[in-house]
Each structure stands twice: as structure tokens, then as C-alpha cells.
Amino acid sequence: MELIDLAGYVLRALKVAVLVAAVYAFVHAAMQRPDAYTAVDKLTKPVWLVILGVGVLLLAVFDVMGMAIAAVAAGVYIVDVRPKILEVQGKSR
């Protein structure tokens, strides 16, 4: 196996992982109450749905740049917004 083939496999695996995270973030954002976003002083629910949806679309269209944008959008939502929304709704662990 050549190094180029290995890099291709790694990029494909990374793209799948980012896709799973971005779709999870989008679905989670869609299932939350709209007032929870404003209660934790974050962007509104429609804005987060647009950010995450555009991230997923860019991931489908562009390779590395789309992957980076989708990873950042999903990462910010999962690490920053999601825990605070769950906390304000009384669902935190």
C-alpha cells in the first residue's frame, strides 16, 4: 500500500466521522425547545440549524474545506451550546 492510498483512507474515515458528528448536532439542535437557546444566551435555534445545515452541505460538496467548516460548526455546538441547553432544560448529567 502506498502512502497516497493511506492518506485517502484516512481522509475518508475523517469525513465520515465529521459527517456523523454534524448530523448528530443538527438533529439534536432541531429537537430542542427554541426558548432554551435564548435562555442560555446563545444564537437562536433557526440560526444554529442554518449553521449546522450549511456545514453538512459544504461537507457533501467540498472535501477538505467543507470538512473543516462542518467540524468547527458541529464542534462548537456539541462542546459549547449542547451542554448549556441540556442544563437549562434540566437534562444535564
Q: How high is the mean pLDDT of the chain?
A: 93
Instruction: Say whether pLDDT at 69 is over 70.
Output: yes
Look up the pTM and report it: 0.89
Q: Which residue has the cell 470538512?
A: 67
Domain ranges of the chain: 3-88
DSSP character string of 32-66: S-HHHHHHTT---HHHHHHHHHHHHHHHHH-SHHH
pLDDT tens for 30-65 read 999 999 999 999 999 999 999 999 999 999 999 899
Distance CA 2, CA 8 (A): 10
Query: Mean pLDDT, to the nearest integer, of 19-23?
Result: 97
Residue 92 has pLDDT above 70, yes or no: no
| DSSP code for 83 | H
